[in-house]
Homo-oligomer: A and B are copies of this chain.
Amino acid sequence: MSSHKRCFSSSKVFNTPLEALHDVKNGSKLLVGGFGLCGIPEGLIGALVTLGVTDLTAVSNNAGVDNFGLGQLLQTGQIKRMISSYVGENKKFEELYLSGKLEVELTPQGTLAERLRAGGAGIPAFYTPTAAGTMIESGSFPIKFGADGALTGAGVVMPKPRESRVFNGRKYIMEEAITGDFSLVKAWKADTRGNLIFRKTARNFNPDCARAGKITIAEVEEIVPAGSLDPDSIHLPGIFVHRIVKSASFEKRIEKRTIQGGDKAPAVNPMRERIIKRAAKEFRDGMYVNLGIGLPTMASNYLPPGINIEMQSENGLLGFGPYPTEDQVDADLINAGKETVTMIPGSSTFSSSDSFAMIRGGHVDLTILGALQVASNGDLANWIIPGKMVKGMGGAMDLVSSGTRVVVTMEHTAKGGAHKLLNECTLPLTGQGVVDCVITEMGVFNFEKNTKEMILTEISPDVSLEDIRAATGASFRVAENLISME
């Protein structure tokens, strides 16, 4: 970033998004803030459509939806390559990618945030446990398919395999920094010197993108005179922000408007209730936990008396409460499932790189998530079924690689009775040897990392050991003190 020419001028304020974007060119690499549709620079994205620049590379956690956010630039064909962690809400995206018309570098969410953070911090590369032993390490998930979705032959682009290295007996992979020609970010308030403040979970990737751009353009809701903001409460110092533009209005579209007492809660059958209730016993008072969508999140409704936990949401929120009432709905306050939520006393917000530093650093005590397959050595597969829809891994690879307790909740077998507990996963891995415990409706398995043993420690009163053996595709040991699952 050292050799680029910035325009030194005491005024950073531009009148319109189009003026602020005047020097974006065909082929520019853009770092775009936002998580889902929360905290995206709506006006700047719209202006890119008007500007008509093409062959863009867009680094952004998500790709918008079909007709909003970056989805607009996919519709117009202005984007050549996306670098993202999760693109599951966008049909156009999938169609373009699978037919070889769009390049996509799927990158774990925490790795993406950290690569941007490194880019802004002059760190060319770093080591991470995330994605060790997966297709990210081996470089075997295509960036670009051939015509008609071919996996080999003309036009196919593969990513480069990652180097791996052992530190303190554990395997890590090397990831390189990401920088960009322009960063397009959304903030709540700016002062005239470019100091930025973000609002609630609309912070997310915005500070990380802002730091890694040669030219950083911030679209804001309000511009105040320098000196109006508390110096200790500025989230991003103005040194990182070269242009500011105030938008007249923001749509702030909500992806999943979840309301208290709404009709979104799926009915819980007895089988699922058994899993959820058992999962709730994993909670200890004062724990910080990250709960996946579905069964794991439902476990928080069965907290034992006297037990308080704080939930972490990887988009940048610690401590969140129930769904909002209609009056409380705030487009700037969502969880990692993109659902509207509320805060509780003691909640805090932070950037994506800070969120995954928290996760990767082992500070979240417990992760509970679902799985497609678990192997007896603790391997976990839960991010993709090749040939089916491409969604991306989101933060799952980061969460399971943190070294803290990973509990899987899942139905014992797949539809049709296919085994999900196997001696070896057949689906692409999310993490290698990462699972500590699996809770199903039939029982509980613990995974002994040293001996690589899978041990049945609890059994449902409704089933026999033979039932479990028949439903399990993995060899396992039965604990001497096998107890009844309650």
Contacts and interface: CB of A to CB of B under 8 A. Distances in A.
Given A122-B359, A195-B346, A232-B235, 4 more contacts: A8-B286, A8-B365, A192-B346, A211-B357
B227 A346 contact: yes
Contacts of A199: 232
Given A238-B348, A348-B234, A348-B238, A211 B361 contact: yes
A122 B126 contact: no
A349 B2 CA distance: 23
Interchain residue pairs A-B with the least CB separation, the first 9: A227-B345, A2-B403, A122-B360, A121-B357, A226-B346, A193-B346, A124-B167, A1-B362, A8-B286
Interface string A188-207: 00011101011110010000
B232 A285 contact: no
A156 B114 CA distance: 38
A127 B124 contact: yes
A193 to B, nearest CB: 4
A232 B172 contact: no
A288 interface: yes
Contacts of A2: 362, 402-404
Given A200-B232, A403-B2, A239 B364 contact: yes
Range for the number of chain A residues in contact with chain B: 35 or more
Given A211-B361, A231-B343, A318-B237, A127 B129 contact: no
A141 interface: no
A205 to B, nearest CB: 16
Interface in A322-354: 343-350
A9 interface: yes
26 contacts: A1-B363, A2-B362, A2-B403, A2-B404, A3-B403, A8-B286, A8-B287, A9-B285, A10-B286, A121-B356, A121-B360, A122-B128, A122-B129, A122-B357, A122-B361, A123-B127, A124-B167, A125-B127, A191-B346, A198-B232, A200-B231, A200-B232, A225-B345, A227-B345, A237-B318, A238-B348
Interface string A86-125: 0000000000000000000000000000100111111111
Contacts of A235: 232
Copies in the complex: 2
A310 interface: yes
Contacts of A357: 117, 120-122, 211
A419 interface: no
A363 B402 contact: no
A358 interface: yes
A176 interface: yes
A227 B321 CA distance: 13
A450 interface: no
A150 to B, nearest CB: 33
Contacts of A120: 357, 361, 363
Given A8-B284, A123-B114, A358 B128 contact: no
B310 A193 contact: yes
Nearest to A350: B237
